[in-house]
Chain A
Amino acid sequence: MSIEKTDWWVGLFVLLGGIALTFLALRAANLSSFSFAQTYTLSANFDNIGGLKVRAPVKSAGVVVGRVASIALDEKTYQAIVRLDMEKGFEFPLDSSAKILTSGLLGEQYIGLEAGGEDANLANNGTIKYTQSAIVLESLISQFLFNTAEKQGSTTTPDSESVKSK
């Protein structure tokens, strides 16, 4: 085989390797989610973020409108400060609320944004005031157990029977 032809096949081989690596980086891994769209920053304080991670999606009505940029702890209030990179073009009213939700029973956690009713929109570096923390299963169960124990302890509660039968 002539030298030029060998080089052509070697070039194709190396090109195929490049394509394979690009495929792995963009299609199999999350490099493509680093979108080059313009973003603006919002922040929200939560009492408890549960298992929220950096780069988790921010969804409004199920549509991805941004991603979690960073998570930090406020040293004074001991709240979690979550910064969100929101895509430009999606603007939300000042009284919008943020919740930490879980996709599916065991799925990833994400932030759900619910639009409010005010006319003015959240600006860059704005803060979402109304937040709801992640639901931690252990505290939920302990709350439930505490409530049942309280109800069983007081015989005067008329509803205790009906609650139990439910």
Chain B
Amino acid sequence: MSLNLRIASLGHLVRTKVTGLGTFTRFFWMLLQRSSIIFSRPRLVSQQIHFIGNYSLLIIAVSGLFVGFVLGLQGYYTLNRYGSEEALGLLVALSLTRELGPVVTALLFAGRAGTSLTAEIGLMKAGEQLAAMEVMAVDPVRRVLAPRFWGGVIAMPILAAVFSMVGILGGWVVGVLMIGIDTGAFWSQMQSGVDVWKDILNGVIKSIVFGVAVTLIALYEGWQSRPTPEGVARATTRTVVAGSLAVLGLDFLLTALMFSN
């Protein structure tokens, strides 16, 4: 390949990426503009919360439990060296509410709910159902996308809170029941060290932002997918890759903003 062609292909790459970002932002704006349906027909949203939230609950709760177990064991291993095993409760609670709860939930959410959203929208597009709706003068963005978006945004913080709660209980099971740390010290260290606004509220804000990002990426990929089986398969893969990367990148940004001082 000659140098000119290489430069040209690089320019093409940059242009497509920037255009993609623009389309994505416009898609977000379009979705927000047509969100009034969540007030006029709240049933649609509650159906989506059921589909996205309730069905993800089991995997979130089980993962939270095991993450809590592991945090209990690994935290004890480190804290034991400094003779401060009582701080295990604090360590488990802070790592879960500030970091692991929102992030791991969002990653699981991208895999469990994001993929199903993308595949659903992609297949609707491939089956020309979206086009049929437009013919019937039903706006598919308003009727199909907006309820799914708000369902995901509402379900995500709830799932993250459940994850943190189950994780703390898991850490308690390992720390107090298995290892034998004093249960009073476990809880009192946690309560004196965890702040409601600084730690828990910021964790909730994080999970809301992740919910917006993951659901939006999932819907966008489905909406933009090529209407073929291969196109839907690619869109589903891209949802997981782009969603996970967005979560991790946003997590760094939000942590730097919230906890830097």
Chain A residues near B (Cβ < 8 Å): 3, 6-7, 9-10, 12-14, 16-17, 19-21, 23-25, 27-33, 106, 108
Chain B residues near A (Cβ < 8 Å): 43, 46-47, 49-50, 53-54, 57, 84, 93, 97, 155, 157-159, 161-162, 164-165, 168, 187, 190-192, 194-196, 199-200, 204
Closest-CB distance, A162 to chain B (whole angstroms): 34
A20: contacting residue among B155, B165, B190, CB under 8 A: B165
Closest-CB distance, A135 to chain B (whole angstroms): 20
Subset of 15 A-B contacts with CB under 8 Å: A3-B47, A6-B47, A7-B43, A7-B46, A13-B53, A13-B57, A17-B157, A24-B168, A28-B190, A28-B194, A28-B200, A29-B93, A29-B190, A30-B195, A33-B191
Q: Contacts of B57 on A, CB cut-off 8 Å?
A: 13, 16
CA–CA, A28 to B2, complex, Å?
63
Closest residue of B by beta carbon distance from A33 = B191
Q: Contacts of A108 on B, CB cut-off 8 Å?
A: 192
Closest residue of A by beta carbon distance from B46 = A10
Q: Contacts of A23 on B, CB cut-off 8 Å?
A: 165, 168
Contact (Cβ within 8 A) B50 A13: yes
Q: Contacts of A14 on B, CB cut-off 8 Å?
A: 49, 158
Closest-CB distance, B131 to chain A (whole angstroms): 27
Main secondary structure of the interface of B (DSSP, over half): helix
Q: Contacts of A7 on B, CB cut-off 8 Å?
A: 43, 46
Contact (Cβ within 8 A) A10 B54: yes
Q: Contacts of A6 on B, CB cut-off 8 Å?
A: 46-47, 50
Closest residue of A by beta carbon distance from B154 = A14
CA–CA, A146 to B220, complex, Å?
72
Q: Contacts of B162 on A, CB cut-off 8 Å?
A: 16-17, 20
Contact (Cβ within 8 A) B195 A29: yes
Q: Contacts of B159 on A, CB cut-off 8 Å?
A: 17
Contact (Cβ within 8 A) A24 B50: no
CA–CA, A32 to B194, complex, Å?
12
Q: Which 9 A-B pairs have CB atoms at the shortest separation, nearest pair first?
A: A17-B158, A20-B161, A20-B165, A29-B194, A29-B196, A10-B46, A28-B93, A20-B162, A30-B191
CA–CA, A6 to B55, complex, Å?
12
Closest-CB distance, A111 to chain B (whole angstroms): 15
Contact (Cβ within 8 A) B158 A29: no
